């Protein structure tokens, strides 16, 4: 059943794409007919005709051109018998051919469906994109019409796409758009949102006066915000009061290709995802993190730590749901398990405990407490091709890494990497992958030391700062927070300034004489600006040692900003339905959405040329189809939203002042109007070549981006 639903969604996506293109070309066609231009072909798709229709000939496999021309030539030859006796062949004019077709009752336009289901075109007499300056003597030719009429014909496709987008949005809002609510779920540590004191449960009402109807608008407007000025955000707090916060989005450090971000995630509902979205069980359970399937379709969280919560995912303004209570409980847990009471789909009630962990901070600065980094914990194995599949398990703690040259003798010792923090692990494994070196690990599992030897970093895990491929072993990293062992010390941090230094591998046993057992205890003990006495047990030492750690108010603030998170669960989205029964209101919303999308596209181009948005984020045909498929699976409303967005964007792309697209042709007409004559044929041809080269270059670039994204 799910397969049939997905197949239907893909079919609707393909039909929808075709309709958007058809609608664009229909605009050119209707405008041409209206101003009296002879239209020779109206094609949906590219390449040779699969099937075609022409009045007087009917439906035919392939094209009707040959038969059309044969009938006309036969008719004209019959009329000009005497002239044919004097010469072998007569070249008939376009006007003669048009009159002959009219006399024979033949339609001037061939309607064709071409075999490549991408694009389409309208071929008018006297106009040829690939032969600029094309000319015809027929008074109904494109080149014989006035400049205003030609401008109307050239711009009609864009106008129709804008109209279509507005209509699709109108239909969407009448049927109801189920969109993620503009409610803050989680705030990331050290992020601009945390600095601005944006809180979980806050409903984002507007950005600089522009209403944020749903989270898609929040995400898009954040990504396209200015990197020079903060966004003035109006929010409604969970107590119903309203206020303003100023957030300046930034790119995460080291992420040159990323969009601007605030450092927030949307809110989720306290129930499971839809049954159709439930993923199949992996062949190896180590490919999923702990607690991932805690909440299943139909399950509802009714209590958090014994306190009743409301699980509904539909809300009215001022009622953002209770997801924020889950986030609040995690932050107040001090690292202790959070209890969830779950009403299962079959009616049974069950209580489960989930262990919070430290959340990765925003940007490139690694997680640390006063400059001290914990050891790395294996959250899950992230690839079926991982060389440690079956050798490492979720929950394993990396105790040591040894790097050997390629194919070393078994007895040859390697170089021990002292840093087993997350950043140290990534750096060591990445460098070993570049040099084709072998890695030996020792992991701590259930209190026992386990050897994992002879591992090669063979999994592509992204790019480094220099855009070079970075290799790994297919592990999703986390922080070992249950035992306060020092894995590494960050330079220029309070921990780096400790006299006699802190030895990596040392276990912190007490802070200011008070015993600590976990990193959560250490964090709590250091939440004051003072000199703290750390009691440490270095590796292989019999006696503890003491070191003094001095913290400033800024250091304490950094520690207080640390946030916790539960392992990922498959919770449903917190949804808001944007719907109206008033068609006029829906049309007004549709016009606004279309306008906003068009403006956002131009802002994207501006940000791209300004450097705040990377061209690598652009999508080509492969990416658009992939994204469209995902939207189609989300439901018919999202499919409609996606097609409306494509229609609006197609209007913008087609009207860019680039030769070979509608905007370039419009520009030629403006120049012709200003100087009183068209550009020379040679100038137009050169411009077309440049435009074609630019279009092809962009096509190759975005296709490359799509392929790279597929394998990341």
- Which residue bears the tokens 């599949």? 389
Catalytic residue among 25, 110, 261, 574: 25
Q: Which residues pair with 204 in a beta bridge?
A: 235
User: Burial level of 251, CB count in 10 A (0-12/13-18/19+)?
Assistant: middle
Exposure string over 271-302, b if 16+ CB within 10 A, otherwise e: bbbeeeeeeeeeeeebbbbbbbebbbebbbbb
Helix (H, G, I), strand (E, B) or coil at 538: coil
Q: Which residues pair with 431 in a beta bridge?
A: none
Joined together, the tokens standing for residue 335 give 């690292």
Q: What is the dihedral of CA 634, 263, 570, 282, to 10 degrees?
A: 90
Closest CA to 125 of 147, 93, 166, 103: 93
Max intra-chain CA distance, the chain: 121
Helix (H, G, I), strand (E, B) or coil at 418: coil
Sort strands 231-236 and 338-343 into parallel, antiparallel or unpaired: unpaired
Closest CA to 476 of 380, 401, 332, 592: 380
Sort strands 307-308 and 514-515 into parallel, antiparallel or unpaired: unpaired
Report the C-alpha gap between 195 and 188 in whole angstroms: 10
DSSP annotation string for 430-480? HHHHHTT-EEEEEEEETTEEEEEEEEE--EEEEE-TTS-EEEE-SEEEEE-
Q: Which residues pair with 147 in a beta bridge?
A: none
* Ramachandran area for residue 632 (φ above 0: left; ψ -120 to 50: alpha; else beta): alpha
Report the C-alpha gap between 146 and 678 in whole angstroms: 12
In sequence order, which ranges of 176-317 are alpha helices (DSSP H)?
A: 192-195, 215-223
Q: Is residue 325 a contact partner of residue 304, using CB atoms and an 8 Å limit?
A: yes
Q: How many helices (H) and strands (E) does the chain have?
A: 16, 33
* Catalytic residue flag (residue 25): yes
- Backbone torsions φ then ψ of 537, nearest 5 degrees: -115, 100
Joined together, the tokens standing for residue 48 give 């040779």
Report the C-alpha gap between 672 and 679 in whole angstroms: 7
Q: Is residue 118 a contact partner of residue 624, using CB atoms and an 8 Å limit?
A: no
Length of the chain: 712
In sequence order, which ranges of 224-354 are alpha helices (DSSP H)?
A: 323-331
Residues assigned a catalytic role: 25
């Amino acid at each position: 059943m799910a397969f049939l639903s997905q197949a239907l969604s893909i079919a609707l996506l393909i039909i929808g794409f075709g309709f958007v293109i058809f609608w664009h070309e229909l605009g050119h066609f209707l405008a041409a007919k209206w101003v009296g231009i002879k239209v020779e072909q109206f094609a949906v798709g590219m390449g040779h005709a699969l099937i075609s229709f022409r009045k007087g000939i009917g439906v035919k496999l392939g094209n009707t051109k040959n038969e059309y021309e044969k009938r006309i030539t036969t008719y004209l030859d019959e009329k000009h018998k005497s002239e044919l006796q004097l010469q072998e062949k007569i070249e008939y004019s376009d006007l003669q051919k048009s009159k002959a077709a009219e006399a024979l009752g033949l339609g001037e336009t061939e309607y064709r469906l071409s075999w490549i289901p991408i694009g389409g075109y309208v071929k008018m007499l006297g106009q040829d994109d690939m032969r600029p300056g094309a000319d015809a003597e027929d008074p109904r030719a494109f080149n014989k019409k006035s400049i205003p009429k030609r401008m109307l014909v050239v711009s009609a496709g864009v106008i129709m796409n804008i109209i279509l987008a507005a209509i699709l949005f109108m239909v969407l809002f009448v049927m109801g758009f189920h969109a993620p609510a503009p409610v803050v779920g989680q705030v990331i540590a050290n992020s601009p949102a945390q600095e601005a004191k944006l809180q979980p449960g806050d409903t984002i009402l507007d950005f600089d006066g522009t209403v944020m109807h749903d989270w898609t608008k929040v995400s898009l407007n954040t990504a396209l915000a200015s990197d020079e000025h903060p966004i003035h955000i109006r929010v409604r707090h969970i107590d119903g009061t309203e206020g303003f916060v100023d957030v300046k989005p930034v790119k995460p450090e080291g992420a040159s290709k990323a969009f601007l971000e605030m450092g927030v995630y949307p809110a989720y509902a306290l129930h499971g995802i839809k049954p159709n979205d439930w993923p199949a069980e992996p062949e190896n359970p180590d490919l999923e993190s702990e607690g991932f399937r805690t909440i299943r379709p139909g399950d509802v969280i009714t209590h958090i730590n014994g306190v009743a919560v409301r699980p509904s995912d539909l809300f009215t303004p001022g009622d953002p749901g209770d997801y924020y209570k889950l986030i609040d409980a995690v932050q107040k847990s001090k690292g202790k398990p959070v209890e969830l009471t779950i009403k299962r789909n079959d009616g049974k009630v069950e209580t489960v405990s989930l262990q919070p962990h430290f959340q990765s901070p925003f940007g490139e600065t690694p997680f640390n407490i006063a400059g001290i980094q914990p050891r790395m914990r294996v959250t899950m194995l992230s690839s079926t091709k991982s060389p440690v599949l079956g050798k490492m398990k979720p929950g394993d703690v990396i105790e040591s890494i040894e790097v050997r040259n390629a194919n070393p003798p078994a007895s040859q010792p390697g170089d021990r990497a002292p840093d087993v923090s997350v950043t140290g692990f990534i750096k060591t494994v990445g460098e070993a992958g570049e040099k084709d070196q072998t890695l030996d690990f020792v992991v701590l599992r259930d209190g026992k030391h386990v050897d994992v030897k002879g591992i090669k970093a063979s999994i592509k895990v992204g790019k480094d700062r220099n855009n070079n491929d970075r290799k790994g072993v297919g592990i999703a990293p986390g922080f070992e927070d249950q035992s306060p062992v020092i894995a590494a010390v960050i330079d220029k941090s309070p921990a780096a300034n400790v006299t006699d230094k802190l030895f990596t591998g040392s276990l912190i046993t007490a802070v200011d004489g008070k015993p600590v057992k976990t990193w959560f205890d250490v964090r709590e003990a250091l939440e004051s600006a003072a000199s703290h006495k750390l009691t440490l047990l270095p590796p292989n030492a019999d006696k503890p040692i003491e070191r003094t750690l001095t913290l400033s108010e800024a250091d304490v603030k950094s520690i207080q900003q640390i946030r916790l998170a539960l392992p990922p669960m498959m919770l449903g989205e917190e949804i808001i339905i944007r719907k109206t029964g008033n068609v006029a209101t829906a049309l007004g919303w549709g016009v606004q959405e279309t306008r906003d999308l068009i403006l956002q596209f131009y802002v994207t181009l501006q940000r791209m040329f300004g450097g705040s948005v990377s061209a690598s984020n652009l999508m080509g045909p492969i990416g658009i189809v992939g994204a469209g498929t995902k939207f189609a699976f989300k439901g018919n409303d999202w499919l409609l939203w996606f097609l409306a967005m494509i229609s609006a964007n197609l209007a913008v792309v087609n009207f860019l002042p680039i030769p070979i697209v509608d905007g370039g042709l419009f520009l030629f007409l403006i120049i012709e109007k200003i100087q009183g004559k068209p550009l020379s044929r040679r100038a137009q041809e050169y411009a077309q070549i440049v435009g074609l080269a630019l279009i092809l270059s962009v096509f190759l670039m975005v296709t490359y981006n799509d392929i790279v994204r597929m394998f990341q």
